[in-house]
Amino acid sequence: MKLWEDKVRRTVPYTPGEQPQGTNLIKLNTNENPYPPAPGVEAVKNTMDTGRLRLYPDPSAGVLVDALAEYYHVGKDQVFVGVGSDDVLSVAFLTFFNSQKPVLFPDITYSFYPVWADIYRIPYETRPLDEDFRIRPQDYYGDNGGIVFPNPNAPTACYESLETVEEILKHNRDVVVIVDEAYIDFAGDGKSALKLLDKYDNLLVVQTFSKSRSMAGLRIGYAMGCPELIRAMNDVKYSINSYTMNLPSLLMGAEAVKDKAYFETCVAKIKATREKTKERLAALGFEFPDSQANFIFAKHPDYEGKELFEALRRQSIFVRYFDKPRIDQYLRITVGTDEQMDVLMKFFEEYMA
């Protein structure tokens, strides 16, 4: 061992979804949107004055904060933006989970949560989802250092009602509760926890442009909460890196928010494709929770999950497989275009014939 190695901070890193390269492949493994961003995003790319790139971007991200505040009918002082929701969540962990009490989150959830907890030396405990992969609110009662969970959940795609979310908030007024809503726009009639912001000053709602707004490559995430929460997050951000958002992301993000009609059309197409795919998977004998996201978490009683994953991969069809307890028989299948899902279903039909 080198003399300095015992001073290196060690952690088990998050494993991102594979980004396969090449043509003639079906990529359904990272929950990206199969449709392009709003037309206004392309217009910004074509008309932006590249001379502005020699200057630092606005550290307050004003143009994007303003657009989000107007869209969601909240104050500008209630919006925080960052480099994807991962950056926003990381800052939130660092800002709010600052006691010796354990932070709580589900045992089956977004696998970045334990990574942030480890790297920031935050104690944490997981709470098991029930046999249907649902949160039991009573598991989050009692002394803790904060709570975070996705809604809809990843990778299960289950949506928890606002009543469940509020039940958790009611019993945890002395800590910050983070609701990670990366997939909320796909949740059928599911309501965002944003409806509870005026009632609970300890609620932070995190969303992203990566899924429903087709902008994963630009890395835009945001959080909304009471002004005091947002001010605390900005204080931490300005203590790390003042210029987190680049200029193209700010301008393109603002344009994407303005085009509500295009956004709603794309989301509707994905939801329609998801429902058709659920019917076709069920007809083949697949089992899955009722998906309220842009992916389906499915297993088949007659086939091993890893077997199906590897067989699909050999045909250049990429889905996500998690070799973890309780979920190692499941595939997480992103909802692509109708044409992509037809290729997927044809493979399953022939493989299981």
Instruction: Kindly report, residue by residue over 27-81, the tens digit of the pLDDT.
Output: 999 999 999 999 999 899 888 888 899 999 999 999 999 999 999 999 999 999 9
- What pairing do the DSSP bridges indicate for beta strands 26-27 and 317-318? parallel
Predicted pLDDT at 240: 93
pLDDT, average across residues 110-134: 97
Summarize pLDDT for 141-189 with one digit per residue, the tens.
999 999 999 999 999 999 999 999 999 999 999 999 999 999 999 997 7
- pLDDT of 188: 77
Supply the pLDDT for residue 1.
72
8 A C-beta contact, residue 111 and residue 14: yes
- Measured distance CA(153)–CA(8) in Å, rounded: 33
8 A C-beta contact, residue 115 and residue 233: no
* Mean predicted confidence (pLDDT) in 219-226: 98
Q: How far apart are CA 138 and CA 135, in angstroms?
A: 9
Do 60 and 80 form a contact (C-beta atoms < 8 A)?
no
pLDDT at 334 over 90: yes
CA 42, CA 170: separation in Å to the nearest integer? 44
Decide if 132 contacts 289 (C-beta within 8 A): yes
* DSSP conformation letters of 21-56: -SSS-EE-SS---SSPPPHHHHHHHHH--GGGGGSP
Whether pLDDT at 10 is above 90: no
Give one word for 84, left, alpha or beta, with left for phi > 0 and alpha for psi -120 to 50. Answer: left
Q: What pLDDT shows up at residue 239?
A: 96
Cα dihedral 193, 196, 197, 201 sign: negative
* pLDDT above 70: percentage of residues in the chain: 100
- pLDDT tens for each residue of 288-311: 999 999 999 999 999 999 999 999
Closest by CA position to 158, among listed 188, 127, 192, 134: 134
Q: Comparing 11-20, 59-68, 191-200, which segment has the lowest mean pLDDT?
A: 11-20
Please give the residue that has the higher pLDDT: either 11 or 216: 216
* DSSP summary character for residue 205: E
User: Residue 83: which of 66, 67, 64 has the closest Cα?
Assistant: 64
Cα distance between residue 277 and residue 296, in whole Å: 9
Average per-residue pLDDT for the chain: 96
Helix (H, G, I), strand (E, B) or coil at 287: strand
Query: Which ranges of the chain would DSSP assign to H, the alpha helix?
Result: 39-47, 62-72, 84-96, 113-119, 162-170, 227-240, 247-258, 260-283, 305-314, 338-351
Return the sign of the alpha-carbon dihedral for residues 301, 304, 309, 315.
negative
Q: 35: buried, middle or exposed (CB in 10 Å: 19+, 13-18, 0-12)?
A: middle
Tell me how far CA of residue 318 lies from CA of 35, 78, 321, 331, in angstroms: 18, 38, 9, 10
Q: Has residue 258 got a pLDDT over 80? A: yes
Residue count (the chain): 353
- Give residue 106's pLDDT: 98
Q: Structure tokens of 50?
A: 């590249």
In this prediction, residues 11-39 reach a mean pLDDT of: 91
